[in-house]
Amino acid sequence: MLVGILLATVAMVLNSFGALLQAAGARRATRTRPAAIQPRYIAGVSVDFVAWGCAVLALRVLPVFAVQAIIGGTIALTAVVSARMIGVPLPVRNRIAVAVCLAGLVMVAASAGSEQPPVRPRGVDVVLLVSLLLLAVAVLILRQGKHAWPLALLSGLGFGGTALSVRAAHVQTGEGFDLALLLGQPSTYLVVGFWLVGMIGYTAALSRGEVGAVTAVFTVTEVLVPGMVGIQLLGDPVRPGWEWVLAVGLAAALAGTVVIAKAPPLQPPRAR
C-alpha cells in the first residue's frame, strides 16, 4: 500500500509540471502552428504520460478514489508554481481554498480500505463504453464554444475514465500479470479512448482559461466522480465507519474547487 501511495505522489508532482508546460504550449498555438506541434506542449504531454504510468501502477494496489485523491494535490502545486512563475503572490482567498480542497482530498484518500475487490461485476465494460461515447460527443460540441470550465470538467471525466478502465482490468487479472488476459478484455482498449477524449478536452480548456482554474476543475472532477463510480461499479472498499470522513472530504474538495475556479486569472506585475 505504501508503494502505491508513493507512486501516486510522484504522479501528482509530474501532473502539475505537465499542466504548466501544456498551458504554455497551448497559449502559443496558432492556426499554422497548433498546440500539438508546440515544443512545450509536447514536453508537457510526455511528462503527463510518465505520470499516468505511475498512476497505473498505483491502481494495482489502491482503490480509484484513493489514487485520484492523492493526485488531486496537483491543484495546490500548480497554483503555487504558476503564481511564482508570473511573479505574484497567491491571493489569501486562493490559499485558503487550496488548503480546504487539499484537506478534503486527504480525507477522501484516508477513507480508502486496503483490500482489493475479488470479482468484477458484469456489465462494467458496457457502462464504460457508453460513457466514453457520450463524453466524446460532448467534447466535440463544447470545443465550438469559448468557455473553459465545461471542457475542463469533461477532460477530468475522460482521464477519470482511464483510471476506472485500468482498475477494472487489474481487478479482472487479479494480483498476477497475464498479458493474454489483459489484451483480451475491452477495458484495456477503453483506456486509450478515455485518454484521447481527456487530452482533447484538456488542451481546449487550457487554450480558453487560466491554468490554475482549469487544473482545479479538471483535477477534482477526475478525483471525485470516478472515485465514487469506482465504489459502486467496481466495489472499491471504504474503511468501515469512515463513510462520514469520505462525505466531508468530498464536500470540502468541491467547495475549494468552486472558489479556485471562480477566482480571476493572476496577472503579472506591471513594469514601472
The helix/strand/coil state of 236 is: coil
Q: Where are the alpha helices (DSSP H) in 63-178?
A: 64-71, 74-86, 92-110, 124-142, 149-173
Tally helices (H) and strands (E) across the chain.
11, 0
Which amino acid is located at 127 in the chain?
V
Q: Please report which confidence band the pLDDT of residue 216 belongs to, taking 50, 70 and 90 as the band edges.
A: confident
What is the secondary structure of 24-73 as a DSSP string?
HHHHT--SSS-GGG-HHHHHHHHHHHHHHHHHHHHTTTS-HHHHHHHHTT
pTM confidence score? 0.72
pLDDT in tens, 147-177: 888 999 999 999 889 888 887 776 555 555 5
φ/ψ (deg, to 5) at 118: -80, -30
Please give the C-alpha separations between residue 150 and each of 156, 169, 208, in angstroms, as whole numbers. 10, 29, 11
Q: What percent of the chain has pLDDT over 90?
A: 14
pLDDT in tens, 226-269: 888 888 777 777 888 888 998 898 888 878 877 776 777 666 66
Q: Is 90 exceeded by the pLDDT of residue 131?
A: yes
Taking the C-alpha atoms of residue 33 and residue 121, their distance in angstroms, rounded to an integer, is: 46
Block residue for cell numbers 483510471: 163
